[in-house]
Amino acid sequence: MAEAVISNGAISLAGTNEDALEVAVRNHARLVYRIAYSVLRNHHDAEDATQETFMRVLRYRRKLEGIDDPKTWLARIAWRVAVERRKKRPEPSLSDQEMAKAVSELRSQLASAEESVIGSEMQSLLDSLICRLPEHLRDAFRLSTIEELVPEEIAQVLGTSESSVRSRMFRARRILKEKLASLEGRYGFHKQREA
């Protein structure tokens, strides 16, 4: 893909640093995007954050050749960029109606044995529940949802140990499960009364 881009004349990056940079973009742009999306939950913002991440990399491109693990290095930059951008935005909140809709979706999906695609309400519900987690649990959990990252790499991005990451992921999952159960109880009860 990159060769075609070069032959089209769209890219004229030359030299070893630029080659390394191009390889980094080709191999890790998708990961950077997913990290940004896991924090920002918006495709447009995630793409902007991806561009900003690679602009920062361009600024420090001389370092790139001396780095043993460019994937983790890029992931850390992407994470910082996304978190900085997220700080400028308000926390998401769901109305009662949206919450009830998401819970009914959850009930119907649980009733069927097949794996189905989760809808936008369910996505918003999950996001709002994750946002309410304590910061250290939330960070580890968000990164753990990205399939390209293993706990060891998540630990490097967050600057902590692998065991700590595993423990945080487990605790975050347990809290989310409890919250979903309590929501189901609350909205399920309302639904029964309405019926």
Question: Is residue 195 close enough to count as binding other proteins by CB under 8 A?
Answer: no
Task: Please give the residues from 15 up to 54 whose contact with other proteins meets the rule CB under 8 A.
Answer: 21-22, 25-26, 29-30, 33-34, 37-38, 43, 46-47, 50-51, 54
Residue by residue, what is the 3-state secondary structure of 58-78?
Answer: HHCHHHHCCCCCHHHHHHHHH
**Residue 63: closest CA among 24, 9, 5:** 24
State the residue for tokens 């030299």: 15
85/142 with CB nearer other proteins: 142
How far apart, in whole angstroms, are the C-alpha atoms of residue 74 and residue 56? 10
The stretches of the chain forming alpha helices (DSSP H) are 2-7, 16-40, 43-59, 61-64, 70-87, 96-111, 120-131, 135-144, 151-158, 162-194
Amino acid in the structure at residue 79: W
Question: Is residue 110 close enough to count as binding other proteins by CB under 8 A?
Answer: yes
State the residue for tokens 């900085």: 84
Q: What is the x/- site pattern for other proteins, positions 65-104, by CB under 8 A? A: ----------------------------------------
State the residue for tokens 């019926």: 195
Give me the least distance between CB of 162 and other proteins, in Å please.
19
Figure out which of the listed residues 45, 83, 131, 188 binds other proteins, where binding follows CB under 8 A: 188
For the chain, the maximum distance between any two Cα atoms, rounded to a whole number of angstroms, is 70
Question: Is residue 2 close enough to count as binding other proteins by CB under 8 A?
Answer: yes
Question: Is residue 131 close enough to count as binding other proteins by CB under 8 A?
Answer: no
Q: Where on the chain is the footprint of other proteins (CB under 8 A)?
A: 1-2, 5, 10-13, 21-22, 25-26, 29-30, 33-34, 37-38, 43, 46-47, 50-51, 54-55, 58, 106, 109-111, 115, 117-118, 122-123, 126-127, 142, 144-147, 173, 176-177, 180-181, 184-185, 188
